[in-house]
Structures are given as C-alpha cells and as structure tokens.
A and B are shown apart, each in its own frame.
Chain A
Amino acid sequence: MESDKKPTLTSNNCAKAYEDSLQVPESASAIPKRRQDLLKWNGWGYKDSHFFVNKNEQGEFTGERYNISGTIMPGMKDFMMRKVSIDLNKKAPAQPELTARDIPVPITNNEFTSEIKKAGISFSDDAQDRLFRGHTLHEIFILREGRFERLPDLVVWPEKHEDVVKIVELAMQHNVVVIPFGGGTSVTGSLLCPVKETRMIVSLDTSQMKKILWVDEKNLTACIQSGIIGQDLERKLMEKGYCTGHEPDSMEFSSLGGWVATRASGMKKNVYGNIEDLIVHFKTVTGRGVIEKSCVVPRMSSGPDLHHFIMGSEGTLGIITDVVMKIRPLPECRKYGSIVFPDFESGVKCMREVAKQRCAPASIRLLDNDQFQFGHALKAENKSIISGFMEGIKKLYITKIKRFDLEKISVATLLFEGNKSEVAAQEKRVYEIAAQFGGIPGGEENGQRGYMLTFVIAYLRDIALDYKVVAESFETSVPWDRLLDMCRNVKDRITRECKERGLQHAPYVTCRVTQTYDAGACVYFYFAFNYIGTANPVHMYENIENCARAEILANGGSISHHHGVGKIRQKFLEPTISAPGVGTLQAVKEFLDPKNIFANGNLMIDVKSKI
C-alpha cells in the first residue's frame, strides 16, 4: 500500500493536484483540489454525510460533521411517505461512477494546451475533473441517470491573478471558450456547457486562488483571491479575530468569486450586508484587459458603478480575481432564538414590523407550517426521559394553553450577534414585537436547530432522488404587501400544475421568508414531487418551476433574489429588465468580449431582444 498521507489516487494529474495543495500549507483548504475525493460527484456535499433509511425503516444521517450526524430520526420516514408519497420499496439508485468512455470526447486545441503547459499552469482532462459541475437538478439528474452531451474539454487551475490574465490572453488568441468555475454550487444551470459550442471549452477552476493576500486592520479590509470558499475564508479570518459576516447557505462550498458573479446574499446581511455592500474593490480579467478601480475607497461618484455591471454578470464578461472586502471584528456574543406564531400570516406581520422598526437581528427567518413540520420530522429520537418530558410540556403549553393549532403554526428562527448588552436589548425588542402578533418565544435550541438544518437541507435532495422524488428550491424577492398572496398563489399554482400534468401524488410545496428589507422580503420555496409514472421528471420539474416563476412575477415578485438567472430563468430576463435593458447588457458584452470567449450562455446571452 501507499503511504498513509496520500489517499488512493486514480490518475497522475490528481497526484500532482494533491502535492500542490500540500506545498502551500498556510492556505490549506477544507476542500482538496481534487474535490471528488472528499465531495460527492453526483450529489450535494461531503461523501461521508448523507441521509438514508436504515434497516429499521428510520431516517438516519451519517458522518460526524453536523449536529444531526449519527442521529436517528424516527419521524422522517412517515413524513416522507405522507408528504411526498415515497414507497420504500421503489428505489432509484444512482448509476455507478462514470468513466472517460461515458462522457463526450474532449475537443482539443493543442496550441492552447501547450502554451498553458509552458506557462506552468496546472490543468487536467481527467473524466472526473471534467464531470464536477453545478448542482442544478438537471445536472444532478444527468449524473445519476444519464450522460452529458457537452462537458468542458479541459480544466485549468490558475493560482493567481497573473495566471488568469495569461489564460484569458491565450483563450483570445486561440479562440477557446473559458467558463469560470468557483465552488460548483450553482442551481441555475449556469455551469452547463452550451451543447452547440464547437470550440474547445476550458473550465477555469478558481479553487487554487485561495489565499488571503493581505489584511488591512486600519481600514478593516482584506484582499482575498476569488477562489477561496466561504468556510476557509471565515476560518482564516477568525484566526486573526475577524470575519466578513457573509454566510450564504452554501458557504461550506461556494466561493468568493461566485458570490460576486451572482450578487450573492448572506444569512446575516442585516448586520454585514449583502455582497454588494461588502465589496470595496475587485479586479476582472476580460478579453480587453483588466477592469478595476484605481483606489480602495468606500464610495465614489465616477459615473455608473462598474462593480455593479460585473456583479451578477455570471461569468459572461470576464473572470473576477482579487477582491478587497470589508472585514469586521468577531462579535463578542452570538445567540439563537425562536418564536412560535399561531399562523404564517401573523409571523409575516411580525417580520414586517421588525423590518419597519429596523431592529432585525443578524438573521430572522420565518418557516411556514409545512416547513415547521418538516423540521419536526427531522428531530432526533429523545435520548433522555427528561428532554422527552420537556418536549411534551412545551407542546402542551402551545396547543392547550395558547390554543395554537399544530397544523397552522409557523416558526421564526433568530440569530443575534453583537456584544452582550446589544444582544440582550435586541432580543427584548424583537420578542416584544412578536408578542404583539401573538408570537411566543420558542427557545434557543429550536433556533439553533433551524440554522443547522439550512446546511443539511441541501442533502435531502439526494435521498429524495433515491426514492423517485425530484426536489429543488427557488427564491425570489417581493414587496411586503404582496408577500402573503404570493406565497399562497405560488403554492396553489404548483399544486394545480402538477395535477394538470397528471402526477399521481400531490407535490410538497413549502416556503419560508429568509430576509427582511425596508421595502420587502426574500422568500424561498421548496418544491418536491414523486415522479413515479412520468417519462421525463426533470423536464416536468423545469416546466412547473417556470410556471411557478411566472406566477411569482405576476404576483409582483422578482426573477431572483440571489441565485441569479443562469440558463433556467433566461426567458424571464427581458420581462424583468425591459428590452433596452437587455440590449444594454448585450452591448457591454459585445465590447468586452468581442470573440465571445466567455460563452457560457448565461444571463442575457442568446436572449432574443425585441430591439
């Protein structure tokens, strides 16, 4: 056997990759260069972590990474049977790992490849490297059941800004397509390669640009390479006593560059802001050279803000490299909380009031009843009599004394950050507002569980797929006055569309309000259905999601709050930003990328504008 330090390797390229990561110990990442060694190639997250139904027909979560790892969830199976009508006897196991034979033969461009080699930039055409893509349902379903029509032909790993400049120059020179790849957590189809592309496609994997280049404690800024993933960034800053406070639900795997390219939003934006509030400066390598500002200043008036052109450009204009970001001292105190409301409507009213008074804690989220019940179903079996007893008392209090209907209640989870007195004051204020709307405190533990579940919820799709259920989430932003109607109408529409398409079982649709703003909120929908008896579940899912999005727009909601447009929402772009708007984006694209080497086909590309 080989030495203990090296895991079993399957190709030479990867051996090199592993050595590379060992050479720079100061920036060691939680995720190896060869991701598939640690992460699932055809599902969400770590290989060692997944849900399954054990031989006693109880739900269980494996591994040791999360709080619920290793726990047994007696309620889960029933919930899945009741809500998405799974049949334990009808499994749809994923296909075995794909090999080079199962994927398209790469298109080669020898001049480009040899120049890359000459420049000393790491690259690979290994099947597994080429296969590691995004997490849209469509992509995952192909990995489990089918074959990709088009994949990147080569993967390159630049390590610094200059490498990226070199790659883009060569791509321009040799007419090669470059698709940037950060953490691969996209759920908009933005990492899918256009099937009709005949040029060589290079996946520019930023994962090795993962250093924090400098930290400026006077201005509280840090210059960070764009490939760093969220968990590494926070961990490394924490060592110095800082944080960025940017915590999207995908922060374990998603990258800084990806956040900028999609206009990401973090859970704690109420304290730290969304990505556009956090960024002070960044470089973008385009076909015409590098776009950047000449100074690192908090604000300036110099015409339209170029940052805002690139933020949300989804890889269509260039590659984001070094990013200067705000950092904050670590908060002294972090406290969870939860509130139980008699129904979703009163919860929403409370959130609106909290937003109005601008006293939202770092995070405040409201789960609808279905989601509350789902969280309940994922509860571990009671390990002690005492905690079981306490659960009973709590339930008794809520249902018998407060007379809440368990089929109607909704729950808000809270996260407070700051120094002790600030947190205490905030808590008092929020709970007071909650009381006005009939909300009662539901305890710290429930809040904490809620936030932990956000990380785990992404793993659920894999077990759902195991049992012939397709599932996905989508999000939007909406003005306050239309929020309730929108949630109800979208759920209604989905249910009806499923029925009209002859699905045997009713779908599971649930939503939660995840962010509050002065003028509105962000709403997440989760949607799953049992696809037994349908020919093309992904296609059906996409159709229904499109209907749901049309319903969202009709209800005054937006195309997306932070996931972006990608490929799956392109048809809603023009209705959203107007035909001249699309034309503007296209004109900028034409100037910056005359050869269309950033041809990932996202956003405004290929949108047939009316102009």
Chain B
Amino acid sequence: MSDNQSRNVWIKIDNPLGPNTLAKYKDIYEDVLDDRRLSSDLKFCLRNQENVPKFKYNTERSSSDIKEQVLKSDRVRYVIEHLISDKKSDKASVEKEAEEILAEMAHNFNMGSIRFFAFFMVKVFKALFRRVYVNADGIQMLRELIKEYPVLFIPTHRSYFDFLLISYICYEYEIPLPAIAAAMDFSNMKFFGWLLRQCGAFYIRRSFGTDKLYWAIFTEYVQSHIRNGDRPVEFFIEGTRSRTAKSYVPKVGMLSATLESYFKAEVSDIMLVPISISYEKILEESLYAFELLGIPKPKESTSGLFKARNVLNTDHGTVHFHIGTPISLRQWSVDGNLDRIVHSLEPRYINSLTDDENELSKKLAYHLVLEQQKMLVLSPWTLIATVLIQAKGGMVHIKELSKEVDWLKRQLFNLGAYVDWPANVQVENVIEHYANLHSNIVRVREDGIFEILSQNSVKRGKKLLQDEVFLNGATNVMLSSYRNQLMHVIVRVCLVSVVVNSCQSTSLKIVDMLEQYAFLERLLSREFIFISGKTKEDFNNAVIWLQHVGALHIEDEEGNIKFSLNKHIAFFSAVLEPFLISYWVLCQHLLSLPVDVHGRALAKKHKEIAIDAQQLGLKLLQDSVIKNHEILNLDMLSNGLHSLIDMGTMYKDKRVEENYVSPNHRLVSGIAKKLATLVETPSWTQIGNYTNKPITQSLSSKL
C-alpha cells in the first residue's frame, strides 16, 4: 500500500506502520478481521447459531408474525378506528394503507440472507480495512445483557458502513443481529437496500409529522421488538450520517417512542448501549465535502457508493468499534424522579407521554451523545488535520508539524482522550504514514514541506465543477471534518481560550469570563453538544484545566484571573476561529439584506439564507479578504442561522408548512459586534464593498 515515490530522507524504518506491525490485540481492543484472514469465509458464514443468546422473555416469531401482530395491535386499531370515525377515510382504504405502510417499513429478517451478508461483508471489510478493533469486554457484556433486558444500540453515524459493521460484528461474536431503523432513502439502494432489509433493517420515512397512522404503526413496530426482545433495536440518535464528523444535535422522537415501552411499564427496563465507531479514513469523505459545499449529492445508490473513489482499492486504515457501558433507563428515570403511575388511568396504547418524560428523553439523548464522544478513538490524523488548518498558506514543514502535533497529542492525553498513537514510533514516521493514507488531501514535498492539495474537478450531471476556490474549499472541508473528530475533547477549553485571547488587559474577572463563555456556548450550541444547565460546571472544569497546564492562574479571592498570552490560549482560540468568522460573515450577510417598508427584510427560507451567505463568503475568499475556507460549509452556516433563531434574533414566519425567517437588525448586529470583539475580523469598509451589492448570482450558475 505504501507509496514508495514519496519516501523521505528522515524515514528510518521501511513502512513503519505497515499491516504487519499493527497488533491483533491492542489495549482493550482486538481485531475482528484477523481470524477471518486466516480461515475460510465460507465456513465462517455457515457456522451454527446455537450460541446466540436470547432475551429471557422472548417468544420466537417470524418477520411476518411481527407484521401481523402490529396490524392487530390495540394501538394501530385504535388509530384506524379514529380515522374512520373522523370520516377521514373508510375502513377498507385505511386498512389497506396500514398494510402498505407496514410492507414498506418492515424488515424481512432471515438467516439465509444473514449468511450471505456475512460472506459478502467479510470480503468487503478485509479489502477496505487493515484492522477492525473491537473492545472485547463490551462484547462479553452485551452477550449477557441481551439475555436479561431489551437492548437498544445507539451508534455514532458517520458512514454507510456503520450499519454493516455493527451487524457484521454481531454475527462475528454471536450476538443477535439488530433490527435497524434506517432512513427510507436507503431502501432505494439497489442491492444494499434489499440486503439490509433481509438482515433486519426496517425503513422509516424521513418525515411523517402529523400522519397519525404512520406514527402508530411505526411506534408499535419498534415497541413490539422491545417488548418481545426479538433482537436489539438499533437507531442513530443523530438521525442521519454526520457529514461533518462531529456529533449532530440528537433527535428525540425515535428515542422517546422507544422508551414509551418502559414509561408504560410494558417492560421492566430498557438498556441503552452507546456505540462509537471511529474511522481513520471516512469512505464518503469527498462525497460529504461536496455536499457540504452545496453541490447536490448523487442519489443514494450502491454503485455510487462503490464507484465514488474506487473505494475497494483504497486503504482505509483501521476502524475502532467501541461498545459503551449500558445505561439503564430505569436508573435514569429513578434518578430523574419520574413516576410511571401517571399512566395508570388510560389504556397504554393511547399515545400520551408526559412533559417530564419528553424532557427526560431529551436529556438522555444528549447524555448518550456525550457517552459516544467519550469512547471515540482519535486517529493521529485528526491531530495533524487540526494543526494543518492553522498553517499559514496551507503549508508547513514536517519538523514544525511534528512539534505541534506532538504538543497537541500531550494536551489531548491530558484531557482524557484516547489517541491511537502507535508506541515506539517517531512522530515524523507517524505523520508520514498518515500523509500516505490521506494522499488525496495532503502531499509531502521533497523538501519536507506539507501542502494541502486541491481536489480534482468533479462532474455533477452534465456540468463540470472546476472553480479553484471551491475545489480548495472541498479539501479544507475534508480536513476540517477530521479536525472536528477531536473537537468534543477540546471545545470547552477552546471557548475559554477565545474569551481570554480576546481580552485587552492581562486580567479578567471570572464572572465576566463566564458570561462571555455562556454567550459562545449558546451561539455554538448547534455546532457542539452541550448539556443545558451544565454551563458553569463545564466552564469551571475548562478553567481548572487551563490553570493546571499553566495557561491561567487565579490571582485573588475575588476571582480575578491573570494570564499572559501563551501557547495554549493561542492554539485553542485559533481552533475556533473558522467557526466564529463564518458566523460573523453570516451576520454581515443578514445585516446587508435590504429593509422593506415594514422595517424588516424580506423573509426567506433557511436554506436560501445559508446559500446567500455562502456566496458572500465565496467572494470574500476570491478576493482574499478572508482566508477561511470553511465559510463555504453550508452546514456551518445553517447551524449559525439556527442558533440565531434559537437566540431569538430572527423573526419567524410559517408559510405553507415551511419556515421563513428574517433578521431583527438590532439583535443580529449586537451579536456581530460581540463576535468582532472575540475574533479578528475584516474591517467594516472591506466588507461594505461586498454587502452593498445585491447578490444575484446563484450557485448553480457557478457550476
């Protein structure tokens, strides 16, 4: 796999991180593929299933039994009767609709397909990955847990391969394969859509807001699996694959629908198992990058997935699959003082979760995401990416890079992160190895300079995308998605650093710091996961940590904090710069919108505003007014916009089921000013030249 052409003078060992040097066992992990490389795949997929543990209260039933029971369930019948009595529909057509919904949704789990799946996937994984590390203790725990409780798998979601890996690992370790809640778009994938359904995936529409029948069938279908414990139920709390490789704000709907079984005492407990899957190289990295830039993604298709970058021939490094400590819903609700007695007065099939239960589900959802984050494994490449993003002009000498990466590694260890750093290997060698693995992003020149590459032009439909700034942007967005993978470890420290860095004097009152910290946390709350009500605690911990490493010290009893600018503050505040500048540009765009007679700007859809702001960013980039390519990341702009809405700085309108917003100039400009005190921004006059011009050119005309 190694690229001998780019061998450099400082490399002492030939290919120091080649496949043979990665151990089968590492810390708590073991490689699941190792045995498979040595034995017959056929034998593997035909092995018997006697050792697969079963839930103690399970009654054996087939996929069609499940469908039948769901259709006959009280919950579904109740809703059907309601629909009929509301004269919305006649009996025959509602029942037909129910059957169709269920047919579209239900999985068709069968052992034959699983064997085929195992045979096929083991080959794919062996081709894709060097090692797939799994924590063995988690496996043992799961095997016991399955017997005692209904179990939910809550994995991180950063790739298509998440589904496949989880099911594959379950097969490997003789754990019942999960029933997977998948988005409907996957069902249209030609081969995988079918195969996944055969392997236990069930498909849910992306949105079905007020469709009572759909909601009832969906809830019953999921809860039926929980009650009978047929197999673990797996769903992605982030709702969709994270394109940015950091955790999305969790979606609570699916979770609370699942937890209802416990709230209504149909089961005595539910165990939620967070699972974290860390990829060294995300298969969809370039697809994501272009999608984040707003270039329409090709329709979900199997051939698309594999053709995308000749995937099977590319080395994707290692994967870490970490099964977390199960969270007992009972314990969680006991601690939350939840009293299930409130459901004694109504039949349980009537949809009725209390506010407390919804609130608890939401808290639990956030907690689960934080638990997932704790178990993520940081590849050295994420450190390299973080440092590279700060490099002036996208170039840095490997000596300096090594120094910086090594420094960052120590900080991360210190913050309790698991960095997958190989033992006894020179920093330069590690970097060189990852440069090879990500040779589509960086190049090491003969003189030892690292440089960030521009992406090749891509074809979308009939149009060829070749704008240099955009293609550069794509690389930067890819790089930033690797930086994002470590953001959860440092983000709180970063926030404090920004506050300190922006301070004009050499000391600061701790209460003022907290206030600014809280502002930033609120502003970035769509970007990173913060637990509401824990602001002060998080802040204190970050301050204590910075104190511990000598970046700050508390001067006196009144809480004055003294500091001098130092490495920590400089580095960690710089990490957040791209976010803050992008948000600032977004504000500038909003403020530039012409105000009509009512004193308001024309209301627009979220998406339109984000795209327009991106256009402004593009121009600023082209003219080098700003250097930050992440301004082109629509996800970031959209997060910013939502935060502004959350903070009440936007007027909201609902028109024809869609949300329209327009800025409250006074409040938005307040935020922009505050941002300008926290981060270095281009001057007003520079920006003024751009924002006064109406933006007419749309993105598609650029393509």
Residue ranges of A at the interface with B (Cβ–Cβ < 8 Å) = 481-482, 485-486, 488-489, 492-493, 496, 551, 553-556, 575
Residue B597 lies at the interface, judged by CB distance under 8 Å to chain A: no
Selected interface stretch from B15-23, B342-350, B363-371, B634-642 = B342-350
**How distant is A552 from chain B, measured CB to nearest CB, in Å?**
10
**Could you list some 19 contacts between A and B, CB below 8 A?**
A481-B347, A482-B265, A482-B348, A485-B265, A488-B268, A489-B268, A492-B268, A492-B269, A493-B268, A551-B265, A551-B268, A554-B265, A554-B339, A554-B340, A555-B340, A556-B265, A556-B344, A575-B339, A575-B341
Alpha-carbon distance A482/B267, docked complex (angstroms): 11
A553-B268 in contact (CB<8A): no
Closest residue of chain B to A557 (Cβ to Cβ) is B344
Residue B57 lies at the interface, judged by CB distance under 8 Å to chain A: yes
**How distant is B266 from chain A, measured CB to nearest CB, in Å?**
6
**How distant is A152 from chain B, measured CB to nearest CB, in Å?**
36
In the complex, chain A residues whose CB is within 8 Å of the CB of B344: 553, 556
**How distant is A82 from chain B, measured CB to nearest CB, in Å?**
18
B347-A485 in contact (CB<8A): no
In the complex, chain B residues whose CB is within 8 Å of the CB of A554: 265, 339-341
B265-A488 in contact (CB<8A): no
In the complex, chain B residues whose CB is within 8 Å of the CB of A485: 265-267
Alpha-carbon distance A555/B262, docked complex (angstroms): 10
Alpha-carbon distance A489/B265, docked complex (angstroms): 8
Alpha-carbon distance A551/B268, docked complex (angstroms): 8
Interface size on B, as a range, is 10 to 19
In the complex, chain B residues whose CB is within 8 Å of the CB of A493: 268
Q: Which residue of A481, A492, A496 contacts B348 across the interface (Cβ within 8 Å)?
A: A481
Alpha-carbon distance A472/B48, docked complex (angstroms): 45
Instruction: Identify which of residues 325-355 in chain B touch chain A, using a CB-to-CB cut-off of 8 Å.
Output: 339-341, 343-344, 347-348
Q: Which residue of B267, B339, B343, B347 contacts A489 across the interface (Cβ within 8 Å)?
A: B267
Q: Which residue of B57, B339, B347, B348 contacts A488 across the interface (Cβ within 8 Å)?
A: B57
Closest residue of chain A to B331 (Cβ to Cβ) is A500
A553-B348 in contact (CB<8A): no
Closest residue of chain A to B261 (Cβ to Cβ) is A485
A555-B265 in contact (CB<8A): yes
In the complex, chain A residues whose CB is within 8 Å of the CB of B267: 485, 489
Alpha-carbon distance A553/B265, docked complex (angstroms): 10
Alpha-carbon distance A401/B544, docked complex (angstroms): 74
In the complex, chain A residues whose CB is within 8 Å of the CB of B339: 554, 575
In the complex, chain A residues whose CB is within 8 Å of the CB of B269: 492, 496
**How distant is B329 from chain A, measured CB to nearest CB, in Å?**
13
In the complex, chain B residues whose CB is within 8 Å of the CB of A553: 340-341, 344
A486-B57 in contact (CB<8A): no
| Shortest beta-carbon contacts, A-B, top 3 | A554-B340, A489-B268, A492-B268
In the complex, chain B residues whose CB is within 8 Å of the CB of A481: 347-348
Residue ranges of B at the interface with A (Cβ–Cβ < 8 Å) = 57, 265-269, 339-341, 343-344, 347-348
In the complex, chain A residues whose CB is within 8 Å of the CB of B341: 553-554, 575
Alpha-carbon distance A496/B267, docked complex (angstroms): 14
In the complex, chain B residues whose CB is within 8 Å of the CB of A496: 268-269
**How distant is B686 from chain A, measured CB to nearest CB, in Å?**
63
Closest residue of chain A to B341 (Cβ to Cβ) is A553
**How distant is A548 from chain B, measured CB to nearest CB, in Å?**
11
In the complex, chain A residues whose CB is within 8 Å of the CB of B268: 488-489, 492-493, 496, 551
Alpha-carbon distance A219/B344, docked complex (angstroms): 41
17 additional A-B pairs beyond A492-B268, A553-B344, A554-B339, beta carbons within 8 Å, are A481-B347, A482-B265, A482-B348, A485-B265, A485-B266, A486-B265, A489-B265, A489-B267, A492-B269, A493-B268, A496-B268, A496-B269, A553-B340, A553-B341, A556-B265, A556-B343, A575-B339
Alpha-carbon distance A555/B344, docked complex (angstroms): 7
**How distant is A537 from chain B, measured CB to nearest CB, in Å?**
24
In the complex, chain A residues whose CB is within 8 Å of the CB of B265: 482, 485-486, 489, 551, 554-556
In the complex, chain A residues whose CB is within 8 Å of the CB of B348: 481-482
In the complex, chain A residues whose CB is within 8 Å of the CB of B340: 553-555
Alpha-carbon distance A163/B385, docked complex (angstroms): 94
Alpha-carbon distance A481/B75, docked complex (angstroms): 13
**From A486, A553, A556, residue with most partner B Cβ within 10 Å:** A556
**How distant is B524 from chain A, measured CB to nearest CB, in Å?**
39
Closest residue of chain B to A490 (Cβ to Cβ) is B268
Alpha-carbon distance A485/B264, docked complex (angstroms): 10
Closest residue of chain B to A343 (Cβ to Cβ) is B59
Alpha-carbon distance A488/B269, docked complex (angstroms): 11
Alpha-carbon distance A489/B348, docked complex (angstroms): 16
Closest residue of chain B to A551 (Cβ to Cβ) is B268
In the complex, chain B residues whose CB is within 8 Å of the CB of A551: 265, 268
Closest residue of chain B to A553 (Cβ to Cβ) is B341
Closest residue of chain A to B342 (Cβ to Cβ) is A554
Alpha-carbon distance A482/B344, docked complex (angstroms): 9
**How distant is B330 from chain A, measured CB to nearest CB, in Å?**
8
In the complex, chain B residues whose CB is within 8 Å of the CB of A482: 265, 348
Alpha-carbon distance A556/B347, docked complex (angstroms): 10
Alpha-carbon distance A493/B268, docked complex (angstroms): 7
Closest residue of chain B to A493 (Cβ to Cβ) is B268
Alpha-carbon distance A482/B348, docked complex (angstroms): 9
Alpha-carbon distance A492/B149, docked complex (angstroms): 10
Alpha-carbon distance A551/B340, docked complex (angstroms): 9
Alpha-carbon distance A488/B228, docked complex (angstroms): 12
**How distant is B354 from chain A, measured CB to nearest CB, in Å?**
13
**From B266, B268, B341, residue with most partner A Cβ within 10 Å:** B268
Alpha-carbon distance A489/B269, docked complex (angstroms): 9
Closest residue of chain B to A345 (Cβ to Cβ) is B59
Alpha-carbon distance A297/B267, docked complex (angstroms): 48
**From B266, B341, B348, residue with most partner A Cβ within 10 Å:** B341
Alpha-carbon distance A553/B340, docked complex (angstroms): 8
**From B267, B344, B347, residue with most partner A Cβ within 10 Å:** B344
In the complex, chain B residues whose CB is within 8 Å of the CB of A489: 265, 267-268
Alpha-carbon distance A582/B152, docked complex (angstroms): 41
Alpha-carbon distance A482/B266, docked complex (angstroms): 8
Alpha-carbon distance A556/B340, docked complex (angstroms): 9
**How distant is B666 from chain A, measured CB to nearest CB, in Å?**
46
Closest residue of chain B to A575 (Cβ to Cβ) is B341
Alpha-carbon distance A372/B267, docked complex (angstroms): 25
Closest residue of chain B to A558 (Cβ to Cβ) is B344
Alpha-carbon distance A488/B56, docked complex (angstroms): 11
In the complex, chain B residues whose CB is within 8 Å of the CB of A555: 265, 340
Closest residue of chain A to B328 (Cβ to Cβ) is A496
Alpha-carbon distance A485/B265, docked complex (angstroms): 7
**How distant is A450 from chain B, measured CB to nearest CB, in Å?**
26
In the complex, chain B residues whose CB is within 8 Å of the CB of A486: 265
Closest residue of chain B to A485 (Cβ to Cβ) is B266
**How distant is B383 from chain A, measured CB to nearest CB, in Å?**
42
Closest residue of chain A to B56 (Cβ to Cβ) is A492
Closest residue of chain A to B227 (Cβ to Cβ) is A485
Alpha-carbon distance A575/B345, docked complex (angstroms): 13
Closest residue of chain B to A486 (Cβ to Cβ) is B265
**How distant is A296 from chain B, measured CB to nearest CB, in Å?**
37
**How distant is B144 from chain A, measured CB to nearest CB, in Å?**
12
Alpha-carbon distance A247/B332, docked complex (angstroms): 44
Closest residue of chain A to B266 (Cβ to Cβ) is A485
Closest residue of chain A to B333 (Cβ to Cβ) is A554
**How distant is B182 from chain A, measured CB to nearest CB, in Å?**
29
Alpha-carbon distance A54/B343, docked complex (angstroms): 51
In the complex, chain B residues whose CB is within 8 Å of the CB of A556: 265, 343-344
Alpha-carbon distance A553/B339, docked complex (angstroms): 9
Alpha-carbon distance A486/B57, docked complex (angstroms): 13
Closest residue of chain B to A489 (Cβ to Cβ) is B268
**How distant is A246 from chain B, measured CB to nearest CB, in Å?**
29
**How distant is B659 from chain A, measured CB to nearest CB, in Å?**
39
**How distant is A201 from chain B, measured CB to nearest CB, in Å?**
35
Closest residue of chain A to B74 (Cβ to Cβ) is A481
Alpha-carbon distance A556/B268, docked complex (angstroms): 13
In the complex, chain A residues whose CB is within 8 Å of the CB of B343: 556
In the complex, chain B residues whose CB is within 8 Å of the CB of A488: 57, 268
**How distant is B113 from chain A, measured CB to nearest CB, in Å?**
31
Alpha-carbon distance A96/B348, docked complex (angstroms): 53
